[in-house]
């Protein structure tokens, strides 16, 4: 977290901003409560890609480009949309039992602790520009504005995440090896429909 306190000084020393810009950004930060780096970008005092590359060098954490990246569904399921928005982060991959997460501010220990608590995994932070993270969150976690649909999805999600048949089926679909698993999927259909009917009944009861 040391860099957060001295980010302005480091940028000044690197001639990436001047003293006036730093003071303006600090004043704006007090008004908005946004992070200092984000404030500099919002004020167009520094390009977000330049800032990300600068932070990467300073704190020795790799930068990652999120353009055209393919993130497996099982990785995306580790983080909810709400958590991704709150932490300005998106999970990228799982390697050696660790979850690689692209973040705007990877040195925020509070956000890292929250991500590890929510995912139950050790998080390895990476740096990515804020706009690309926001774009990926909207792409991989589309916001559903329909309340009833959200309720159904939430109830279904609760059932799916606790039912091994569903999880196995999802993993099968992720691997796209449908031909070899067709028999297994067909055998699971009866139980799946029973589970869906139970979920829908629960949702209907909540509405009445």
Q: Global pTM?
A: 0.61
Return the pLDDT at 142.
87
- Which residue from 205, 208, 54, 80 is spatially nearest to 142, judged by alpha carbons? 80
E strand residue ranges, the chain: 89-95, 98-103, 122-127
**Res. 91: pLDDT tops 60:** yes
Contact predicate 4/34, CB 8 Å: no
d(CA 174, CA 145): 26
Percent of residues, the chain, with pLDDT higher than 70: 70
- Please check whether residue 123 is in contact with residue 130, taking contact to mean a CB–CB distance below 8 angstroms: no
* pLDDT tens digits, one per residue of 5-48: 468 888 999 999 999 999 999 999 999 988 888 899 999 999 99
Taken in order of first residue, the domains within the chain and their CATH numbers are 2-46 (no CATH), 73-140 (3.30.300.160), 147-207 (no CATH)
DSSP 136: H
Name the band, by pLDDT with cuts 50, 70 and 90, for residue 114. very high
């Amino acid at each position: 977290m040391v860099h957060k306190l001295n980010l302005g000084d480091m940028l000044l020393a690197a001639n990436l901003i001047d003293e006036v810009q730093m003071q303006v950004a600090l004043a704006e930060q007090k008004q908005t409560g946004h992070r200092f780096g984000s404030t500099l970008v919002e004020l167009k005092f520094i390009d977000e890609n330049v800032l990300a590359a600068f932070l990467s060098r300073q704190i020795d954490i790799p930068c990652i480009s999120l353009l055209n990246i393919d993130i497996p569904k099982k990785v995306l399921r580790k983080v909810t949309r709400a958590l991704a928005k709150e932490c300005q982060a998106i999970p990228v991959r799982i390697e050696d039992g660790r979850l690689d997460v692209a973040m705007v501010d990877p040195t925020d220990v509070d956000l890292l602790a929250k991500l590890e608590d929510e995912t139950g995994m050790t998080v390895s932070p990476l740096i990515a520009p804020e706009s690309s993270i926001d774009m990926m969150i909207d792409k991989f976690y589309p916001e559903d504005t329909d309340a009833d649909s959200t309720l159904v999805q939430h109830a279904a999600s609760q059932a799916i995440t606790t039912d091994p048949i569903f999880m196995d089926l999802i993993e099968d679909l992720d691997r796209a090896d449908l031909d070899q698993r067709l028999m297994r999927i067909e055998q699971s259909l009866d139980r799946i429909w029973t589970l869906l009917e139970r979920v829908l009944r629960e949702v209907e009861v909540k509405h009445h």
